[in-house]
Amino acid sequence: MIMKRQNYVIISLFMLAFTFFLACEDNQPIADFTIINNNCEAPCEVGFSNFSTNADAFSWDFGDGNSSTLSEPTNEYTEAGTYTVTLSAFNGLEVDNFQLTVTVTEPALQASFTSDSTSCTAPCSIQFTNTSIGATSYQWDFGNGITSTQTSPSHSYTQGGNYIVKLKAFNGNLVDSTQQVISILNPAIPQAVADFQMDQTTCPAPCTIQFTNTSQNADTFEWDFGDNIISRDESPAHNYAAAGIYIVTLKASNANNSDSKSVEITITAPDACVGLVCQNGGTCFINQNGEPECDCPDGYEGVNCEIIDYCFGVTCPPNVTEDSPVYDETDGNCYCYCNPGYEGENCELLSRDKFLGSYYASDVCTSGEFDYEVTITESLDDNAFFINGLSNFDNPPVSIKAILIDSYQFQLPLHVDATADGDRQIQGDTWGSINPDTGIIAVSFSIYFPDGSVDACTTVLQPQ
């Protein structure tokens, strides 16, 4: 009986101790987790699934210097390597640790890039952004012969076209490449407009016409002069050898379009003015005799308008010489000269009037002196007068018409027989003049005798 009781007590104590042990075991935290995305390429994000029990708090150490207190955190590994991840699970003062290894591998080399535009109108610049992975150096080819080693360059395109942009990414002996097509558009080209001018639209053959190109927005030109002659000069001159009507056409073009303009040219038959050069702005015309003549502008004269008319605009009064006004180079003035028989400031006076009247005449000759009287009277001609009663030696007195040379000199153009039997005579023209201060007129002449002798005489007429 006593033995059974002792066994019962021992069993009871064992059961109590076992129950206490079990109670202690139930409060012990147990840390546990698994890795999501292990063995990834850097950079990569790794996740953790927490399977801990009897824990109410956690502490993570990701092995790269980062940590977390979340239940199921994630961590980004930027570099390749092997990392020991430790999870500490807490329950009150109790703690349990659990570790696993995260493996991050080197990333695979991959070339890639983006651009801010894949199409623009030249000239334009495009920015390229390098998004390559695992590369240490780069080589760009922009498709137009230009290259670069920058990481993310920009490049300007000046001409239209489709360009293949290539990027090569390098890492040691490894290389990867990618490419992209960039479309560059040409600027909009305005419409070409053909237009031109010419220095004349009609002229006598042969003649040359100068064409001036005033086309807009064109870079190539083609002229058809209407006589089977073509030119591609921008502003040509063309010679027409034969008379006719010609249609001149200009075709102006650019890369966008072509435009044309036509003008009619009239080439007339050659005229008589060919060969006559009219200078100083003179123009040739055919006069009433059918001959070419220069029509000189004001201030010029001469056959070819080559003489400057310094007296242009100077007006002379009536009764002047045909060449008046006359330019005097010594003083630079123009003068009006009176016709013979006229005088006065405006040539309004008759020079003969000073000779009219009665005179005492005296012939003073080598052979002797003869006295008589004469009168001077008007002639129908303004520049002439008559000397009446001149001595004719043994013959009756004669009347001789004197022709004024200027205001004070005159000429006696008649031949006068000296005697009736012809033994002596006055020969040739006889000249005379009047003294403006005294009014005395002197006439000199010679008498020729048959034996060859000469009797020199002077007739002096003094006013009565």
pLDDT of residue 14: 53
Give percent of the chain with pLDDT exceeding 70: 89
Strands (E), 354-438: 357-365, 368-378, 384-392, 395-404, 409-412, 416-417, 425-426, 430-434
Lowest-confidence pick of 25-39, 147-161, 264-278: 264-278
Q: Per-residue pLDDT tens for 119-165?
A: 999 999 999 999 998 899 999 999 999 999 999 999 999 999 999 99
Q: Topology of 350-463 in CATH? A: Lipocalin (2.40.128)
Does 33-105 match 198-268 in CATH topology? yes
Q: Which residue has the higher pLDDT, 104 or 276?
A: 104
Is pLDDT at 420 greater than 70 in this prediction?
no
Q: How far apart are CA 166 and CA 111, in angstroms?
A: 10
Q: How far apart are CA 344 and CA 349, in angstroms?
A: 6
Q: Which residue has the higher pLDDT, 385 or 17?
A: 385
Q: Topology of 33-105 in CATH? A: Immunoglobulin-like (2.60.40)
Query: Which residue type is seen at 166?
Result: K
* Position 25 confidence tier, pLDDT thresholds 50, 70, 90: low
Q: Topology of 113-185 in CATH? A: Immunoglobulin-like (2.60.40)
Q: Where are the domains of the chain?
A: 33-105, 113-185, 198-268, 350-463
* Position 6 confidence tier, pLDDT thresholds 50, 70, 90: low
Average pLDDT score, the chain: 87
Asked if residues 75 and 62 have their Cβ atoms less than 8 Å apart, the reply is: yes
Lowest-confidence pick of 76-90, 237-251, 354-368, 440-454: 440-454
- For residue 272, the cross-strand partners are none
Is pLDDT at 258 greater than 90 in this prediction?
yes
In the numeric block, which tokens belong to residue 80? 């390749």
Is pLDDT at 432 greater than 80 in this prediction?
yes
Q: Vertex 360, ends 355 and 362: CA angle to 5°?
A: 110
Read out DSSP for 203-263?
EESSEEEEEEE--BS-SEEEEE-SSS-EE--SS-EEEE-S-EEEEEEEEEE-SS-EEEEEE
Q: Which residue has the higher pLDDT, 234 or 419?
A: 234
3-state SS of 15-38 is HHHHHHHHHHHHCCCECCEEEECC
Phi, psi of 353 (to 5 degrees): -60, -30
CA dist 58 → 25, 61, 72, 87 (Å): 19, 10, 9, 7
Cβ atoms within 10 Å of 340's Cβ, excluding its own: 21
Question: pTM of the prediction?
Answer: 0.34
SS3 (DSSP) at 11: helix
Q: Topology of 198-268 in CATH? A: Immunoglobulin-like (2.60.40)
CA dist 132 → 14, 165, 172 (Å): 70, 15, 15
Does residue 325 have a cis bond before it (omega within 30 degrees)? yes
Question: Of the candidates 180, 185, 126, which has an alpha carbon nearest to the alpha carbon of residue 159?
Answer: 185
3-state SS of 134-187 is CCCEEEEECCCCCEECCCCCEEEECCCEEEEEEEEEEECCEEEEEEEEEEEECC
How many residues make up the chain in this entry?
Answer: 464
Asked if residues 87 and 58 have their Cβ atoms less than 8 Å apart, the reply is: yes
Q: Per-residue pLDDT tens for 170-218?
A: 998 889 999 999 999 988 889 999 999 999 999 888 899 999 999 999 9
Q: Per-residue pLDDT tens for 329-372?
A: 899 899 999 888 888 889 888 888 889 999 999 988 887 888 88
